[in-house]
Every structure is written in C-alpha cells, then in structure tokens.
Amino acid sequence: MLPLGNAWTRRRFLGTASAGLSVAGGISSRLYAGDPADVQAIIAQKLCWLADHFVAWQTPYGRLDANRIPAAIDDKKAFVLPYIASAMYRAFDTTGNAAYQTAADRYWLYYLATECHRQPALGAYFTSARAGISLIPYHDFKRLHPQESAFDDAANSLYARLLEFRWDEGSYFRNGYRGGSMDAANSDDNAAIGCGLMSYYAVTKKPEVLAHAEGLARYFLTECKPMTYQGVWSTANGNWIVAPTDCADFEHFRKPSSEISWAWTTIEAILYLTQLVRATTKDELKQGIRQKCVAGMKWQFDACQFDDGACGMSGRDDKWMGMTAGAILSFLRVRDAGMLTDDEKSTYGPKALAAREWMLRHLDEECLQRGGYWKVSGKSEPRPKCNLAWLLGWTAETLAQPGLPSLG
C-alpha cells in the first residue's frame, strides 16, 4: 500500500492523545461545534485505543488470539490479518508508537508464512485472492525495513503464483470457491489482487506488474453482463456489483450477486484504482477510473447512509462501523487523488463529516462486543465473523488518515 504521508506531527498527535478525554465516557459536545483541537484529541484517543486492542489481541507469533478477541468475531480465517497489518502500519505512521509497527510486522509475517508455500491449483479455495492479499502489506514492510531482504523470495513466489491464475477472460484472474459451476469472479477478491499488485509494484517497479494492474482495472471499468466475465460495473446501481454470478447466499446477504452492490468492493476497489491512477500513463484508464471511483464513493453515501451518519453495507440495511469508516476512506481517497470537483467536495464533504461524527460517537467497548454491527433491517448479516475484525482494521486505518481531523 502506498504511504499516505503524515499531516500531524508525532509530538502534536501524542500530546492530543493524552489530553484527558475519556474514550468510554463519551465525546465532548464541542466536537459538533467544530473545535479543531477537540476533534483531533478525540481522533487521537480513538486511534490509540483501537490500535492498542489489536496489539493486545495478538499472539506472540502474530495471529489473532481466540481467547482475547470479542465473542462477536473469530480468528478462523487468517486472510484478514494483512488488512489489520496495513491499518497498524498507518497507526504507526501517525503516532510513532513502535508497538504498532511490531504488531503490523507480526500480523503480516504470520500470514506470509501460512500462504507462501500453499500449492496453487485450479479451483483451490480463494487462492488467487489470497496471493494478492498476502502482498498488500509488502510495500509498508519494505518501506520501514529497507535493508531486510529475507522475505523478498516469499513475495516473489506469491506474485509468480498469482500469475498462474491469469487468463484471457475479462476478470483477468480466476478466483472463486470450490463447488460452484462458475468461477465466482468476485469483485472484492479481484480488487484485493489489484491492491497486492500495486504494493508489489511499489517495491519492484517492474513494468510488467503495472501492466497486469492496468489489465485487471478494465474489469472494473466494463459493464457487467450476468453469467459472463465481461465486467463488474452496474450503470443501474451506479457502483460495482458483488459478482457476475447468480449466487444468492453469499457471506453477508441473500440476494443474487449480479444484482447487488456492496461496500466491501467499493472500499477496496477505490484503494486499488486510486493507487493505479497515479502510476498509469494511459489516459483512457485515468478517465474511466475517475468516473467509476467517484460514482462508487457517492453510492456509499447516497444509497447507504442513514440520517444519523452511519452507513450500511448494501444500502440502508444495517449500521456497520467498518462501512461507515470505509465511506470516509473512499471520500478521502478520491478527494486526495484530485478526482472531485468543488461542487462534489461541497456536497460529499458534509456527508463524510456526518459519518465521522457517528463513528467517533459509537466507537467504544460496546462496539467491539457487537463486532461493529447494529441491526436495523437484518438484510445484511454479521457473518462470517472473521470479517468483522477486517472491518475494525479499516476503522483503525480511517482514524489514522491525515485528512480526518480537518474533514469537512
């Protein structure tokens, strides 16, 4: 993942973090009067509080400890660990707390050890996506450990394994689950591959890696035709669909995946594509990426945001901490990539601000015990439970964004 910079000095951040506001005791009402010092202090506290939990939840060898995490989540699927690692690298960048970097290293290296020798095979469970996910923290690790080369061979082997899943269909890479008649071509899986490619490219600068990232991007810029691999964009939805298949019982929802959009893809695709737009020289890609990323960001607010600022997963279904944080991430990423007009900033900045205020008000111990999920309609479901840790990782990453204190 590309570094985001640091708008807060470490001294200033740590000073506001120790300002004495109680995380568990609520948020100062001055936050809603726009007091910048109060906002920054609250964000600093919330970030350190959540990052400290990710440190405490980790085993000495790097995975989540089933005996320490809240009952609402579980540790059975280790693929969430690279996302947590990325968030902890951001937390380290913002705070300078070495414990966060150490935790990030351990989360990533544990997952790397479990994946780098897994044998690729057609139809193997989630293998192409896992290869991409494994590479996501690679750039951050190399950025912070530039002299360490012991894990380069593992990263190179994961990239090589990923290329074994390359094909000529529109999805660019095969991905999916055992037992299906059609490769799932899940848009979120492919976005994760894109994020991994951009991380690997940031380290290696190999033109072929960028070419693969560009080729994959076209899948996200092309209109979906259900039951084909043509593309995953839905003009009707104004966002990417979950997958071009007819699967109607997938993880968090029970609707045909070719008809529904969800924020998982939106958040991850925007991360991938806003990195790619800075690297590619292809004008047609830049134009398409801007159009789709801005539309996807708008969908997160227009289709998913409740009146109180919280955001749902596939519309105004249920309130999710991670989806609310992810909507803010999407706004910041498209804004900082120079994709928004002044009118779009004026329209969506206040929506992102409302999401930030809901996030800060509700991020507490009760939130962790809920797994960041508040049932409203029950149309989205908190399953699989391991994904709830992933969403909390995105929440920590949002809190560490340099643009968050001045949002709106």
Go through 260-295 and write b for each residue having 16 or more CB atoms within 10 A of its CB, e for each that does not: bbbbbbbbbbbbbbbbbbeebeeeebbebbbebbbb
Query: Which residues face 58 on adjacent strands?
Result: 64
Residue 176 CA to residue 182 CA, distance in Å, equals 8
If one counts every other C-beta atom within 10 angstroms of the C-beta of residue 173, the result is 26
DSSP letter string, 269-298: HHHHHHHHHHH---HHHHHHHHHHHHHHHH
Instruction: Report the alpha-carbon distance of residue 32 to residue 146 in Å, rounded.
Output: 42
- Locate tokens 């994760």: which residue? 192
Distance CA 143, CA 242 (A): 33
Residue linked to tokens 């699967």: 247
pLDDT confidence of residue 253: 77
- Tens of pLDDT along the chain (408 residues) come to 333 334 444 334 444 444 333 333 344 444 555 577 789 999 999 999 999 999 999 999 999 999 999 999 999 999 999 999 999 999 999 999 999 999 999 999 999 998 876 655 444 444 789 999 999 999 999 999 999 999 999 999 999 989 989 999 999 998 865 445 677 778 999 999 999 999 999 999 999 999 999 999 999 999 999 999 999 999 999 999 999 988 887 777 778 899 999 999 999 999 999 999 999 999 999 999 999 999 999 999 999 999 999 999 999 999 999 999 999 999 999 999 999 999 999 999 999 999 999 999 999 999 999 999 999 999 999 999 999 999 999 999 999 999 999 885
The closest alpha carbon to 326, from 285, 389, 271, 384, belongs to 271
Pairing mode, if any, of strands 233-234 and 239-240? antiparallel
Distance CA 245, CA 269 (A): 19
At residue 115, the pLDDT reads 84
